[in-house]
């Protein structure tokens, strides 16, 4: 059960971030001011992918809630870092971002950490 929850949390987080990144890059540079927040909120409602990303975020949060109930906090929070690996892969394949040596090394370190966490 623990690993099902970790998987749901990680996949939902990665999907949410991916959708957000994709849609916000299409929308162009945004300012974060008093008026910017209002415009952001309107954008979330208007743009389908952003709305979908919020839904994913909700799924990820509820999976996290169930996870901290069943597993130790010192496991649940570090396990959520698995999304970095999935996101790095998806960012390369779907968003065509270039993955440098440092980012690849970082994702690899996280993977080693997860393997140590899993045992």
Instruction: Find the part of the chain contacting other proteins (CB under 8 A) among 10-18, 41-49, 106-114.
Output: 106-114
- Dihedral of CA atoms 83, 14, 92, 79 in degrees, nearest 10, equals 0
| 98 contributes a contact to other proteins by CB under 8 A | yes
Burial readout 6-32 (b: 16 or more C-beta within 10 A, e: otherwise): bebbbbbbbbbbbbbbbbbeeeeeeee
| 93 contributes a contact to other proteins by CB under 8 A | no
Asked whether the beta carbons of 21 and 95 are under 8 A apart, the reply is: yes
Please report how close the Cβ of residue 46 comes to other proteins at its closest, in angstroms: 19
Which residue, 15 or 79, has its beta carbon nearer to other proteins? Answer: 79
Spatial separation of the C-alpha atoms in residues 65 and 54, rounded to whole Å:
16
Convert residues 12-31 into a mask of x (bound to other proteins by CB under 8 A) and - (unbound).
Answer: -------------x--xx--
Contact residues for other proteins, defined by CB under 8 A: 25, 28-29, 32, 62, 64-66, 68-70, 72-78, 81, 84, 88, 95-98, 100, 102-103, 105-117, 119
């Amino acid at each position: 059960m623990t690993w099902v929850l970790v998987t749901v949390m990680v996949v939902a987080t990665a999907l949410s971030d991916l959708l957000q990144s994709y849609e916000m890059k299409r929308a162009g540079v945004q300012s974060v001011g008093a008026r910017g927040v209002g415009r952001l909120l309107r954008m979330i409602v208007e743009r389908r992918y952003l709305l979908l990303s919020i839904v994913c975020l909700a799924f990820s949060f509820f999976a996290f809630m169930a996870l901290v109930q069943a597993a130790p906090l010192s496991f649940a929070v570090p396990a959520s870092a698995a999304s970095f690996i999935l996101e790095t892969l998806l960012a390369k394949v779907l968003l065509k971002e270039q993955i440098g040596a440092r980012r690849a090394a970082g994702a690899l370190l996280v993977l080693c950490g997860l393997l140590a966490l899993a045992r």
